[in-house]
C-alpha cells in the first residue's frame, strides 16, 4: 500500500501493463480515480495532472496512491529504477503509436500483442532513423512515425482518448521529448514526385550556391516568338538554350537601386503607355480566334512575368505601380475574353468600334477624294497633250518660265486623238517662245475658272478656214484655240468623273455600303454642284449613313455604359444624339453619361434639356436634368425639375433617387 503522502507529484506516473489488460470495472475506484487515471499518459507529471484536472494536490495524490495500490499505475523510483519499469511505457514510446487491432474509446483489454507491436515498431523506427542532418545544435532524435491519411492513432494511455502526448519542453515538469529531425517523416506525406533530387545533384542548387541570390530572369516562348515584347529573360533563354543554366548568370546590378533589368523596364514602360489603347487581344498577344485555353495560357504567361509578387520585397521604385497597373489590365482582358458572354459582347463592341472608325475615316476623307478626283481630271487633260505633241523627255527638259502654258496645253485624251489637235500642237511648237512674254497666270486663270467658264461647242475650230500650213496661223489665235481645247477636255473629263462616281455610288448603295456611297456622291457633287438629282441622292444617302452610324454609335455607347466607361459612353451617346436630333432617349443618356464621367455640365444640361423638350411628359428625363442641375450646383432648377417629375410619376425609382439626393444635398 502506498500512502498518499508517499506520492511525489514531480514524478511522472506511468501505466502498468496490468492497467491495459484488466477490466477496470471490476476494481473499486472512484470517479476521481477514473478521471486521474484517464490523464496518466507517461508524460504528464503529478503536477501537470493537478494543473490539467483542476483537482487539489491532495486529491491527485490520493487517487494516484489508489491507482498504484490497484497496480494500475506505477511511480518511477529515482534514482534506482526497477527493471520492470523498462517494460512500461516511457515517454519516448509515445511516438511509436501504431493502429490498434481494436478500435474503441477504451480498449478494455489491450492484449500483449499490442504491447509487442508498440515496442516492435519502436525498434523499427529506431532502425529507420535518418542519417544525421547537419544542424546548429548537432542533435538528432528518432523521428515520430508517419501517420498516413486516415490512419488512427493509438494513444499511449487507453483511458485517454485525446491525442495528446508531448508537453512543451519548457514546462518544468514535462519530460523533454524533442524531435529535431523529422524531415523524413514530413516528407513521408509528400508524393514521391514532389520530392526533389538531393541538393548536391541539382544544377539549380549548385548554380544558386555559386552566385548571390538573384532572380533567374523569367523566360518563355512568347517572348522568343514575339519580338514585339522584349523579354526580360530573352538573354537567359538564349543562355539556357546554349546550355548554361540561367542561375549562373551574373545578377543584374542597377545604378539606381531598382532590381529590374533595363530590357524589362523598357517593356514595362512601353506597355504602360500603350495598354489603354490596345485592344484586349493585342494586349494579351493572342489571335482574335484564339480559344479560351489559349487566352488563359497567354494570361498566365504574362502574369508570371508581370505580377509584382515575382519581385516580392525587391526595390521596384516607380515600376511597382506600373506593373500592378499592367497586371490589372491583363486581368480585365483575361476576365473579359474568358467569359463567353463578355467576350461575345466585347467582340461585337470591337467590331462596331472598328467599323465606326472606318466609316468616320472614310467620311472625313471625302475632301481628300475630291482632291484626288480633280487631280485625275487634270492629269488626264495633260496627258492627252503630252501624248499627242511632246515626247515626255522634252517636257521634262523644257524650262518652266519659257513655256508657262505647257502644263495647261489642252490635248484630247489619247483615245480621241485627232489630226487637228496634232496640228495645233505643231503650230504651238513652231511658234516657240511666242508665248514667253505672256504672264504665267493665264493658264492658272483658266484653271481657276474651270467650273464657271464653260466654253461653247467643243467642236468650234480655233483656226481660220484654210489654214493648212502652220506658218499661216496667227500665234495668238493658236494659243486661244489651244486654251479652249484644253477647257473642253476638262469639261469632258469632269462630266465623265461625275458619271463615274455616280455609278460607283449607286453600286455601293446597292451593296449597302452607305459610307462609301456617300463619299462617291460627294465627289460627284463637287464636280456638278447644281445637279438636283445628285443633290437629292446625296441628302438621302447622308441620312441613311447617319442612321446606320448612329445605330453603331448607340451599340458602342451601350457597351461602354455597361462597362461603366462613362467618358467613352458620353462621347458615343453625344454622337447618337447629333445623328438623331429628335430622339429624347439619346440626349438623356448622353447627359447622364457626361454627368457620371464628370464631364462638362453645361453640355450635359443642354442635352438633358433637349430630352425634356422632346418628351416633356417623361419623368425620367426630368430626373436626369435635375441630377445634372445638382451636379452643376443649380439647386433651384433642380428642385423645379424634380417637382415636375414627381408630379408626373411619384413612384419612378430614378426620380425618387434624385429627389432623395436633392434633399441630402440641399
Segment 388 to 447, residues that bind another protein, using CB under 8 A: none
List the interface residues with another protein, window 262-301 (CB under 8 A). 293, 296-297, 299-301
CB of 29 to another protein, least distance (A): 5
Measured in residues, the chain has a length of: 666
- Cβ nearer to another protein, comparing 31 with 437: 31
> Of these, 395, 447, 635, 648, which contacts another protein (CB under 8 A)?
635
260 contacts 254 by C-beta, under 8 angstroms: yes
Does 239 contact another protein by CB under 8 A? Answer: no
Binding-site residue total for another protein (CB under 8 A)? 142
The residue from 1, 131, 136, 471 that contacts another protein (CB under 8 A) is 136
Contacting another protein (CB under 8 A), which of 60, 167, 333, 352? 167
Report DSSP state, residue 475.
Answer: H
Instruction: Give the separation between CA 283 and CA 268, rounded to whole angstroms.
Output: 13
Residues 322-381, interacting with another protein (CB under 8 A): 324-325, 327-328, 331, 335, 339
> Quick check: 645 and 623 in contact, CB under 8 A?
yes
Least gap, CB of 106 to another protein (angstroms): 4
Q: How far is CA 602 from the centre of its chain?
A: 35
- Residue 307 CB, shortest distance to another protein, in Å, is 5
Nearest one of 514, 565, 570 to 543, comparing CA atoms: 514
Which of 4, 115, 121, 208 lies at the binding interface for another protein (CB under 8 A)? 208
Nearest CA among 76, 50, 43 for reference residue 164:
43
CB 167 within 8 A of CB 44: yes
Per CB under 8 A, contacts with another protein among 568-627 are: 596-598, 601
**Shortest reach from residue 131's CB to another protein, in Å:** 13
| Smallest distance from another protein to CB 624, Å | 14
By CB under 8 A, name the one of 213, 401, 439, 471 that touches another protein: 213
In the complex, minimum distance from the CB of residue 154 to another protein, in angstroms, rounded to a whole number: 11
665 close to 635: Cβ distance less than 8 angstroms: yes
- The reply to whether 46 sits near another protein by the rule CB under 8 A is no
d(CA 595, CA 321): 29
Q: Cα angle vertex 155, ends 152, 161, to 5°?
A: 90
Distance from chain centroid for Cα 483: 65
Which phi and psi (to 5°) does residue 15 adopt? -80, 145
In the bound state with another protein, the residue whose beta carbon lies nearer, of 346 and 501, is 346
Other CB atoms within 10 A of residue 581 CB: 10
Q: Residue 615 half-sphere exposure, CB side, CA atoms within 13 Å?
A: 21
Measured from the CB of residue 281, what is the shortest distance to another protein in angstroms? Answer: 19
Candidate residues 1, 80, 396, 533; the one interacting with another protein per rule CB under 8 A: 80
CB 623 within 8 A of CB 594: no
Least Cα distance to 447 among 497, 387, 395, 375 occurs for: 375
Residues 458/488, Cβ–Cβ less than 8 Å: yes
* Residue number, 148 or 392, with CB nearest to another protein: 148
| Distance between CA atoms of residues 207 and 246, nearest Å | 8
End-to-end CA distance of the chain: 92
Per the CB < 8 A criterion, the answer to whether 638 and 662 are in contact is: yes
Give me the least distance between CB of 187 and another protein, in Å please: 6
Span near another protein by CB under 8 A; candidates 197-205, 349-357, 449-457, 465-473: 197-205
Selected binder of another protein within 1, 131, 149, 532 (CB under 8 A): 149
CB of 136 to another protein, least distance (A): 4
Q: Is the sign of the CA dihedral 92, 94, 99, 100 positive or negative?
A: positive
Q: Does 653 bind another protein (CB under 8 A)?
A: no
Give the interface segment with another protein, choosing from 150-158, 362-370, 394-402, 423-431 (CB under 8 A). Answer: 150-158
Residue 498: in which H helix or E strand, if any? Answer: helix 475-511
Q: Which residues in 85-124 contact another protein (CB under 8 A)?
A: 85-86, 90-92, 94-95, 103-106, 108, 119, 122-123
Q: Give the nearer residue to another protein in terms of CB position, either 79 or 465.
A: 79
CB of 596 to another protein, least distance (A): 7
Give the range of 216-224, 268-276, 420-428, 530-538 binding another protein by CB under 8 A. Answer: 216-224
Alpha carbons 51 and 61: distance in angstroms, whole number:
13
Q: Can the peptide bond before residue 79 be classed as cis, meaning omega within 30 degrees of 0?
A: yes
Which residues ranging from 446 to 465 are in contact with another protein (CB under 8 A)? none
Q: Which of 3, 5, 6, 52 binds another protein (CB under 8 A)?
A: 52
- What's the DSSP call for residue 140? -
* Residue numbers 508-537 binding another protein by CB under 8 A: none
Q: Residues 13 to 32: which contact another protein by CB under 8 A?
A: 24-25, 29-32
Residue 253 as a binder of another protein (CB under 8 A): the answer is no
The yes or no reply on residue 220 touching another protein (CB under 8 A) is yes
User: Per-residue string for binding with another protein, 170-189, x by CB under 8 A?
Assistant: xxxxxxxxxxx-xx-xxx-x
Amino acid at each position: 500500500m502506498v500512502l498518499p503522502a508517499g506520492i511525489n507529484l514531480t514524478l511522472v506516473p506511468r501505466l502498468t501493463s496490468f492497467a491495459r489488460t484488466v477490466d477496470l470495472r471490476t476494481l473499486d475506484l472512484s470517479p476521481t480515480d477514473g478521471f486521474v487515471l484517464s490523464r496518466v499518459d507517461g508524460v504528464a507529471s503529478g503536477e501537470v495532472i493537478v494543473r490539467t484536472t483542476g483537482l487539489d494536490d491532495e486529491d491527485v495524490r490520493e487517487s494516484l496512491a489508489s491507482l498504484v495500490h490497484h497496480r494500475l499505475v506505477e511511480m518511477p523510483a529515482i534514482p534506482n529504477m526497477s527493471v520492470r519499469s523498462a517494460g512500461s511505457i516511457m515517454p519516448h514510446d509515445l511516438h511509436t503509436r501504431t493502429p490498434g487491432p481494436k478500435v474503441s474509446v477504451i480498449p478494455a483489454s489491450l492484449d500483449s500483442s499490442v504491447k509487442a507491436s508498440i515496442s516492435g515498431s519502436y525498434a523499427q523506427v529506431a532502425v529507420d532513423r535518418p542519417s544525421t542532418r547537419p544542424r546548429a545544435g548537432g542533435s538528432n532524435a528518432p523521428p515520430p512515425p508517419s501517420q498516413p491519411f486516415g490512419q488512427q492513432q493509438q494513444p499511449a494511455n487507453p483511458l485517454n482518448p485525446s491525442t495528446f502526448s508531448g508537453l512543451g519542453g519548457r514546462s518544468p515538469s514535462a519530460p523533454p521529448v524533442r524531435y529535431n529531425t523529422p524531415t523524413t517523416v514530413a516528407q513521408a506525406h509528400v508524393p514521391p514526385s514532389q520530392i526533389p533530387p538531393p541538393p548536391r545533384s541539382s544544377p539549380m542548387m549548385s548554380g544558386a550556391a555559386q552566385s548571390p541570390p538573384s532572380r533567374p530572369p523569367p523566360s518563355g516562348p512568347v517572348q522568343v516568338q514575339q519580338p514585339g515584347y522584349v523579354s526580360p529573360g530573352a538573354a537567359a533563354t538564349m543562355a539556357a538554350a546554349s546550355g548554361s543554366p540561367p542561375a549562373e548568370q551574373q545578377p543584374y546590378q542597377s545604378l539606381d537601386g531598382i532590381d529590374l533589368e533595363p530590357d524589362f523596364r523598357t517593356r514595362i514602360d512601353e506597355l504602360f503607355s500603350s495598354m489603354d489603347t490596345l485592344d484586349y487581344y493585342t494586349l494579351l498577344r493572342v489571335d482574335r480566334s484564339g480559344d479560351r485555353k489559349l487566352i488563359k495560357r497567354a494570361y498566365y504567361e504574362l502574369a508570371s512575368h508581370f505580377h509584382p509578387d515575382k519581385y516580392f520585397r525587391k526595390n521596384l521604385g516607380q515600376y511597382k505601380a506600373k506593373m500592378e497597373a499592367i497586371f490589372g489590365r491583363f486581368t480585365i482582358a483575361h476576365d473579359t475574353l474568358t467569359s463567353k458572354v463578355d467576350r461575345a459582347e466585347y467582340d461585337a463592341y470591337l467590331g462596331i468600334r472598328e467599323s465606326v472608325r472606318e466609316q468616320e475615316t472614310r467620311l472625313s476623307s471625302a475632301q481628300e477624294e475630291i482632291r484626288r478626283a480633280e487631280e485625275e481630271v487634270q492629269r488626264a487633260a495633260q496627258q492627252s497633250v503630252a501624248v499627242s505633241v511632246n515626247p515626255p523627255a522634252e517636257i521634262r527638259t523644257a524650262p518652266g518660265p519659257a513655256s508657262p502654258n505647257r502644263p495647261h496645253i489642252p490635248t484630247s485624251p489619247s483615245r480621241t486623238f485627232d489630226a487637228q489637235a496634232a496640228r495645233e500642237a505643231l503650230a504651238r511648237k513652231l511658234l516657240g517662245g511666242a508665248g514667253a512674254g505672256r504672264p504665267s497666270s493665264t493658264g492658272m486663270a483658266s484653271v481657276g475658272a474651270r467650273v464657271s467658264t464653260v466654253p461653247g461647242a467643243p467642236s468650234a475650230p480655233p483656226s481660220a478656214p484654210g489654214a493648212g500650213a502652220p506658218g499661216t496661223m496667227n500665234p495668238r489665235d493658236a494659243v486661244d484655240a489651244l486654251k479652249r481645247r484644253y477647257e473642253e477636255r476638262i469639261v469632258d473629263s469632269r462630266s465623265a468623273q461625275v458619271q463615274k462616281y455616280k455609278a460607283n455610288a449607286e453600286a455601293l448603295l446597292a451593296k449597302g455600303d452607305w459610307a462609301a456611297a456617300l463619299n462617291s456622291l460627294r465627289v460627284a457633287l463637287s464636280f456638278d454642284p447644281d445637279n438636283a438629282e445628285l443633290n437629292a441622292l446625296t441628302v438621302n444617302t447622308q441620312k441613311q449613313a447617319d442612321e446606320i452610324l448612329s445605330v453603331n454609335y448607340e451599340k458602342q455607347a451601350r457597351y461602354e455604359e455597361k462597362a461603366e466607361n462613362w467618358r467613352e459612353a458620353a462621347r458615343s451617346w453625344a454622337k447618337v444624339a447629333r445623328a438623331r436630333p429628335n430622339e429624347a432617349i439619346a440626349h438623356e443618356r448622353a447627359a447622364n453619361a457626361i454627368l457620371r464621367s464628370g464631364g462638362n455640365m453645361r453640355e450635359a444640361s443642354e442635352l438633358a434639356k433637349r430630352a425634356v423638350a422632346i418628351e416633356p411628359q417623361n419623368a425620367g428625363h426630368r430626373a436626369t436634368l435635375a441630377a445634372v442641375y445638382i451636379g452643376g450646383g443649380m439647386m433651384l432648377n433642380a428642385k423645379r425639375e424634380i417637382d415636375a417629375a414627381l408630379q408626373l410619376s411619384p413612384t419612378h425609382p430614378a426620380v425618387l433617387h434624385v429627389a432623395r439626393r436633392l434633399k441630402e444635398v440641399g
